[in-house]
Amino acid sequence: MTSYRVIVLCAGVGERLRPLTYETNKSLLEIKSKSLIEHWLDALIYSGAEVDMVHIVIGHYGYKFRDKVGSKYKNLKIQFLENPLYKITGAAQSLYTAFHVLKNNPCIILEGDHYMDAELMKMLMESEFENCILVDQDLSRLKFDEEVIAYGYGETLDSLKWLPPYPPHPIGEALTIFKLSKEASNALAILLEGYLLEDGPAKREIIEPFNRLARSCDIHFIGTQERKWVEVDFMEDLEQARRMM
């Protein structure tokens, strides 16, 4: 069985959830008496994945993650990586703090603001594909407004689009949760470093490095099969997550 390193991106300030995030991180907001990050870790354990270590990238109220989960959570080893530039940079810079992890290991990479049916993580880990992402193919849920929309053919991802204008013929909304082989993780590290060295704004997301990776190796998508999930960006998302069974 392949043994993975897990990289969870939790450094952001969560502006769209203010005032709740004035004094905490959005991945520490509680749903059913547990924080989002705890739900993530529980889903990871439920999936049965072989995990060497979980690397949580922190920034905004990072010390509270240490207080919440410490260096071990239900036998998962936890390491914290800090993005000191979290106030002015985006998720791409946060992922770069785990460059040494990406270079040397098969990885599971995810943003820590999703709440979902734990079965989805199990489906991802049990997939026959070494490199894959979850995609909700229910097109009726798309709002075409700051969603990560996936495009592809067959079972293979072609690209992700985060902001409008969106091209026609999407396959669905992507959950930003990737399972990557050692070779793909290494390739992503190199592409990420090159991307961050290019001229441009300090705040950059992870969509472009993943799109470049999709052009260099096959990334398959797995349908969510109507299982529930929500990306917690706005107050209504948090309320929806709290209503989920």
Q: Convert the pLDDT of each residue in 155-214 to its tens digit.
A: 999 999 988 888 999 999 999 999 999 999 999 999 999 999 999 888 899 999 999 999
Q: Which pLDDT does position 193 carry in this prediction?
A: 96
Task: Note the pLDDT tens digit of each residue in 128-137.
Answer: 999 999 999 9
Q: What local confidence, expressed as pLDDT, does residue 105 receive?
A: 96
pTM: 0.95
Chain mean position to CA 196: 19
Burial 26-41 (b: 16+ CB within 10 A, else e): bbbbebeeebbbbbbb
Q: Which fold does the domain 3-243 belong to in CATH? A: Spore Coat Polysaccharide Biosynthesis Protein SpsA; Chain A (3.90.550)
Residue 107 — very low, low, confident or very high, per pLDDT cuts 50/70/90?
very high
- Mean pLDDT to the nearest integer, 223-229: 93
Task: Judge whether residue 245 has pLDDT over 70.
Answer: no
Percent of the chain exceeding pLDDT 90 equals 76
pLDDT exceeds cutoff 90 at 1? no
Q: Where are the domains of the chain?
A: 3-243
Residue type, 73: Y
Q: How many helices (H) and strands (E) does the chain have?
A: 8, 14
* Number of CB atoms found within 10 A of residue 76's CB: 17
First to last CA, the chain: 31
Give the integer Cα–Cα distance in Å for 27 and 14.
Answer: 9
- Going by pLDDT thresholds of 50, 70 and 90, the confidence category of residue 20 is confident
Q: Say yes or no to pLDDT of 101 above 70.
A: yes
**Distance between CA atoms of 17 and 182, rounded to whole angstroms?**
35
By three-state DSSP, how is residue 221 classified?
Answer: strand
pLDDT digits (tens, 9 = 90+) for 109-143: 999 999 999 999 999 999 999 999 999 999 988 88
Residue 22 neighbours by CB distance under 10 Å? 10
Hey, what are 38's tokens?
Answer: 């705890």
Per-residue tokens: 204: 């950059």
Cis preceding-peptide flag for 170 (omega within 30 of 0): no
